[in-house]
Structure 1
Amino acid sequence: MAREKKKGGVLPPDGGWGWMIVVGCFVVTVCTRAVTRCISIFFVEFQMHFARDYSGTAWIHSLVDCTTMLCAPLGSLIGNRLSCRVAVILGGFLASVGLVLSSFATSLEYLYLSLGVLTGLGFALCYTPAIAMVGVYFCERKALAYGIAMSGSGIGTFVLAPLVQLLIEQYSWRGALLILGGFVSNLCACGALLRPIVLKEEEACPLPVDSESGYNVKLSAGNGVHTKKATGVKLQVNGKQSCLQSMQEYSFLLMPDFLVLAGSFLLLASGCSLPFVYLVPYALDVGLSHQHAAFLMSILGVIDIIGNITFGWFTDRRCMKKYRIICYLFAVGMEGLCCLFIPLLQTFALLVPFSVLYGYFDGAYVALIPVVTSDIVGTSYLSSALGVVYFLHAVPYLVSPPIGGWLVDTTGTYTATFFLSGFAMISSSLLLFTAAIVRHCQRKEKNCLSKDQQLESCEGKQVDYYTSKKKDLMVIIPATS
Structure 2
Amino acid sequence: MAKGTRVRSTSPPDGGWGWMIVAGCFLVTICTRAVTRCISIFFVEFQSYFTQDYAQTAWIHSIVDCVTMLCAPLGSVVSNHLSCQVGIMLGGLLASTGLILGSFATSLKHLYLTLGVLTGLGFALCYSPAIAMVGKYFSRRKALAYGIAMSGSGIGTFILAPVVQLLIEQFSWRGALLILGGFVLNLCVCGALMRPITLKEDQTTPEQNHVCRTEKQDFKRVSLCSTWTKKWGQTCLCCSLQQEYSFLLMSDFVVLAISVLFMAYGCSPLFVYLVPYALSVGVSHQQAAFLMSILGVIDIVGNITFGWLTDRRCLKNYQYVCYLFAVGLDGLCYLCLPMLQSLPLLVPFSCTFGYFDGAYVTLIPVVTAEIVGTTSLSSALGVVYFLHAVPYLVSPPIAGWLVDTTGSYTAAFLLCGFSMIFSSVLLGFARLVKKMKKTQLRFLAKESDPKLQLWTNGSVAYSVARELDHKDEQSVALALSVTTPHDQWP
| TM-score over 0.5 for the pair | yes
| Higher normalized contact order (CA 8 Å, seq sep 6+, divided by chain length) | 1
Report the alpha carbon displacement of residue 375 of structure 1 after superposing the two structures with TM.
0.5
Judge conservation of contact 2:70–2:389 (CA < 8 Å) in 1.
yes
Structure 1 counterpart of 2:109: 109
Residue 263 of structure 2: SS of its match in structure 1? helix
Judge conservation of contact 2:303–2:362 (CA < 8 Å) in 1.
yes
Structure 2 counterpart of 1:431: 426
Residue 11 of structure 2: SS of its match in structure 1? coil
Residues 414 and 457 of structure 1: CA distance in aligned 2, closer, same or farther (over 3 Å): closer
Which segment is superposed worse, 290-299 or 426-435? 290-299
Judge conservation of contact 2:75–2:126 (CA < 8 Å) in 1.
yes
In the alignment, the residues of structure 2 paired with residue 43 and residue 344 of structure 1 have an alpha-carbon distance, to the nearest angstrom, of 30
Deviations 1:24-74 (A, max 9, x none): 000111111122223344445545555555544433322121101110011
Can you give the 5+ residue segments of structure 1 that lack an aligned partner in the other structure?
462-481
Which segment is superposed worse, 264-273 or 171-180? 171-180
In the alignment, the residues of structure 1 paired with residue 329 and residue 112 of structure 2 have an alpha-carbon distance, to the nearest angstrom, of 33
In the alignment, the residues of structure 2 paired with residue 46 and residue 286 of structure 1 have an alpha-carbon distance, to the nearest angstrom, of 28
Judge conservation of contact 1:68–1:120 (CA < 8 Å) in 2.
yes
In the alignment, the residues of structure 1 paired with residue 320 and residue 184 of structure 2 have an alpha-carbon distance, to the nearest angstrom, of 33
Deviations 1:325-353 (A, max 9, x none): 11101111111222233334444443322
Residue in structure 2 matching 1:449, options 444, 450, 456:
444
Structure 1 counterpart of 2:240: 245
The residue identity in structure 2 corresponding to 1:354 is F
Structure 2 counterpart of 1:375: 370
Structure 1 counterpart of 2:410: 415
- How much is the aligned-residue C-alpha RMSD, in angstroms? 3.6
Judge conservation of contact 2:209–2:240 (CA < 8 Å) in 1.
no
Residue 207 of structure 1: SS of its match in structure 2? helix
Residues 4 and 283 of structure 1: CA distance in aligned 2, closer, same or farther (over 3 Å): closer
Report the alpha carbon displacement of residue 239 of structure 1 after superposing the two structures with TM.
4.7
Report the alpha carbon displacement of residue 306 of structure 1 after superposing the two structures with TM.
1.3
Judge conservation of contact 1:69–1:392 (CA < 8 Å) in 2.
yes
Judge conservation of contact 2:77–2:379 (CA < 8 Å) in 1.
yes
Deviations 1:370-413 (A, max 9, x none): 11000000010001111111111111112112222333344444
Report the alpha carbon displacement of residue 237 of structure 1 after superposing the two structures with TM.
5.8
Residues 110 and 238 of structure 1: CA distance in aligned 2, closer, same or farther (over 3 Å): closer
The residue identity in structure 1 corresponding to 2:268 is S
Can you give the 5+ residue segments of structure 2 that lack an aligned partner in the other structure?
454-468, 470-490
Residues 279 and 186 of structure 1: CA distance in aligned 2, closer, same or farther (over 3 Å): farther
Deviations 1:187-225 (A, max 9, x none): 122111111222222124433799xx9x99xx69xxxx9
Deviations 1:117-164 (A, max 9, x none): 122111111101100111111122111111110111121122223333
In the alignment, the residues of structure 2 paired with residue 30 and residue 209 of structure 1 have an alpha-carbon distance, to the nearest angstrom, of 38
Residues 345 and 92 of structure 1: CA distance in aligned 2, closer, same or farther (over 3 Å): farther
In the alignment, the residues of structure 2 paired with residue 186 and residue 227 of structure 1 have an alpha-carbon distance, to the nearest angstrom, of 42
Judge conservation of contact 2:323–2:363 (CA < 8 Å) in 1.
yes
Residues 456 and 382 of structure 1: CA distance in aligned 2, closer, same or farther (over 3 Å): closer
In the alignment, the residues of structure 1 paired with residue 190 and residue 210 of structure 2 have an alpha-carbon distance, to the nearest angstrom, of 42
The residue identity in structure 1 corresponding to 2:374 is T
Structure 2 counterpart of 1:466: none
Judge conservation of contact 2:335–2:413 (CA < 8 Å) in 1.
yes
In the alignment, the residues of structure 1 paired with residue 276 and residue 245 of structure 2 have an alpha-carbon distance, to the nearest angstrom, of 41
The residue identity in structure 2 corresponding to 1:86 is V
Which segment is superposed worse, 416-425 or 382-391? 416-425
- After superposition, residues 210-359 of structure 1 pair within 5 angstroms as 239-286=234-281, 288=283, 290-359=285-354
In the alignment, the residues of structure 2 paired with residue 410 and residue 170 of structure 1 have an alpha-carbon distance, to the nearest angstrom, of 41
In the alignment, the residues of structure 2 paired with residue 199 and residue 294 of structure 1 have an alpha-carbon distance, to the nearest angstrom, of 46
Residue in structure 2 matching 1:388, options 383, 389, 395:
383
Report the alpha carbon displacement of residue 86 of structure 1 after superposing the two structures with TM.
1.3
Report the alpha carbon displacement of residue 7 of structure 1 after superposing the two structures with TM.
9.0
Report the alpha carbon displacement of residue 285 of structure 1 after superposing the two structures with TM.
4.8
Task: Report the TM-score, using the length of structure 1 for normalisation.
Answer: 0.83
Task: Report the TM-score, using the length of structure 2 for normalisation.
Answer: 0.82
1:440 aligns with 2:435: yes
In the alignment, the residues of structure 1 paired with residue 210 and residue 277 of structure 2 have an alpha-carbon distance, to the nearest angstrom, of 64
Report the alpha carbon displacement of residue 226 of structure 1 after superposing the two structures with TM.
7.0
In the alignment, the residues of structure 1 paired with residue 423 and residue 88 of structure 2 have an alpha-carbon distance, to the nearest angstrom, of 31
Judge conservation of contact 2:143–2:363 (CA < 8 Å) in 1.
yes
Q: Across the two proteins, how many residue pairs are aligned to each other?
A: 454
Judge conservation of contact 2:334–2:414 (CA < 8 Å) in 1.
yes
In the alignment, the residues of structure 2 paired with residue 368 and residue 395 of structure 1 have an alpha-carbon distance, to the nearest angstrom, of 21
Report the alpha carbon displacement of residue 262 of structure 1 after superposing the two structures with TM.
0.4
Report the alpha carbon displacement of residue 13 of structure 1 after superposing the two structures with TM.
1.6
